[in-house]
Amino acid sequence: MTDTPFAPGTVTTEKSGQERLPSLVVIALLWIAAMIIIAFTADFIRPYDITAFDLKNRLAPPGNAAHLLGTDELGRDVLSRLIESIRISLLIAFGSTLISAFVGTFLGFLAAHFRGIVEQVVLMLADFQAALPFLILSLAVLAFFGNSVLLLTCLMGFYGWERYARITRGLAISANAQGYAAAVTQLGAKPSRIYLRHILPNIASTLIVSMTLTFPEIILLESSLSFLGLGVQPPMTSLGNMVGYGREYLTTAPWIMLAPALIIMFTTLSISILGDWLRDQLDPTIR
């Protein structure tokens, strides 16, 4: 702890610093807000249908009168496809991140609470998950069950859960052994109260940072799967899918690939910045 809460000078400077957001965070917030708005209003703001061909204007460069971001090899509007891709990719990434955080945290709490055989099983599953190349697992599942956006989201929800489970288990065990959780147990609290009201808020900062790490990974994973042809299927489109198809025209029409690639980069960067800032905000001892 570096802050000295009793020195009046520091308190006032901290207060004013606390009210103004860092400009980087503002930019990140605006970017994510824009992405979310685009995802929700995709149907209305999209200038063309994603499968509408403009055969006379194939591979038109950006700045074309009819197509702001140009067109692809079939004359489809890149901007329209980009908007639709943002919606699909965000849906999958947010959904999967939440599923994996929920599953991992829950299993971690189970392991910490029951110990013994339950803990061993959870740890075994976590090791199994960590040892198995996730891409191979996804390929197997998608090859057998075909694919839909829902299946893809659920499948990728299993990506990275073992990290949350391990973090949660370790932190919950140490909290239970000494300190605040033991004190609340001693007050007569039920386990649900101890875990949800005390341990979860205390370890949330670590979990949020972990989420901001998983989120970009899931976007990239979805991109890899789509790139391999097992993710989002054409004519549907996602950011990774666009990068995959655009690759073939990298030298002649780089805008097809660069537009989604830049979106991936800025979104993951914004999430990381936001997560970092959020972690500090959630911790009253740092403020």
Using alpha carbons, select from 281, 272, 206 the residue that is nearest to residue 27: 272
Q: What are phi and psi of 193, to 5 degrees?
A: -70, -45
Select the span of 15-23, 72-80, 188-196, 230-238 touching another protein (CB under 8 A): 188-196
Select the span of 36-44, 77-85, 123-131, 196-204 touching another protein (CB under 8 A): 196-204
CB of 22 to another protein, least distance (A): 23
Q: Which of 22, 179, 234, 235 binds another protein (CB under 8 A)?
A: 179
For another protein, the closer CB: 179 or 229: 179
For position 1 contacting another protein by CB under 8 A, the verdict is yes
Q: Which of 25, 32, 106, 193 binds another protein (CB under 8 A)?
A: 193
Using alpha carbons, select from 146, 155, 145 the residue that is nearest to residue 99: 155
For another protein, the closer CB: 179 or 234: 179
For position 46 contacting another protein by CB under 8 A, the verdict is no
Q: Which residue has the tokens 């660069």?
A: 258
CB of 122 to another protein, least distance (A): 20
Exposed/middle/buried for 137, CB within 10 Å: 0-12, 13-18, 19+?
middle
Residues 6+ apart with CB under 8 A from 183: none
For position 65 contacting another protein by CB under 8 A, the verdict is no
Could you give the CA distance from residue 132 to residue 89 in angstroms, rounded to a whole number?
24
CB of 285 to another protein, least distance (A): 5
For position 192 contacting another protein by CB under 8 A, the verdict is no
Select the span of 17-25, 114-122, 184-192, 207-215 touching another protein (CB under 8 A): 184-192
Q: Which of 84, 90, 198, 218 binds another protein (CB under 8 A)?
A: 198
Could you give the CA distance from residue 56 to residue 50 in angstroms, rounded to a whole number?
16
For another protein, the closer CB: 186 or 251: 186
Single-letter code of the amino acid located at 16: S
Binding mask 120-159 for another protein (x = CB under 8 A): ----------------------------------------
For another protein, the closer CB: 109 or 161: 109
For another protein, the closer CB: 64 or 185: 185
For another protein, the closer CB: 45 or 286: 286
Q: Which of 45, 143, 183, 262 binds another protein (CB under 8 A)?
A: 183
For another protein, the closer CB: 58 or 193: 193
Binding footprint of another protein on the chain (CB under 8 A): 1, 5, 178-180, 182-190, 193, 198, 201-202, 283-285
